[in-house]
Structure 1
Amino acid sequence: IIEKSNSLYSSPSLLRVKASGKFNLIVNYTNLNNLIVLLMNIFLI
């Protein structure tokens, strides 16, 4: 289920049409990855 969210852990996503006509779900996890690295550094100190 995909729904709108303002959570710190949400990631933007979109559907891309492939040449075959099928769809790819693309999710940008860049912000989530940065948050995880930040949290790991906080807990390791």
Structure 2
Amino acid sequence: MVRNLGRLDRAIRITVGLLLFSQVFVGLQTLWGLVGVIPLFNGLVGW
């Protein structure tokens, strides 16, 4: 598949994904932090 995310968009998605995912372990410690896996995966894969 053709990648359709630019550099800035990928960086933002990875950052937001990591911040949300870190909430599982630090901070709120709820499963809502698992929502961060979606933008993290999209940013790492690129589409």
Please, what TM-score do these two structures have when normalized by structure 2?
0.38
The structure carrying a bigger strand percent of its residues is 1
Q: Which has the higher contact order (CA 8 A, sep 6+)?
A: 2
Please state which structure has a larger fraction of its residues in helix: 2
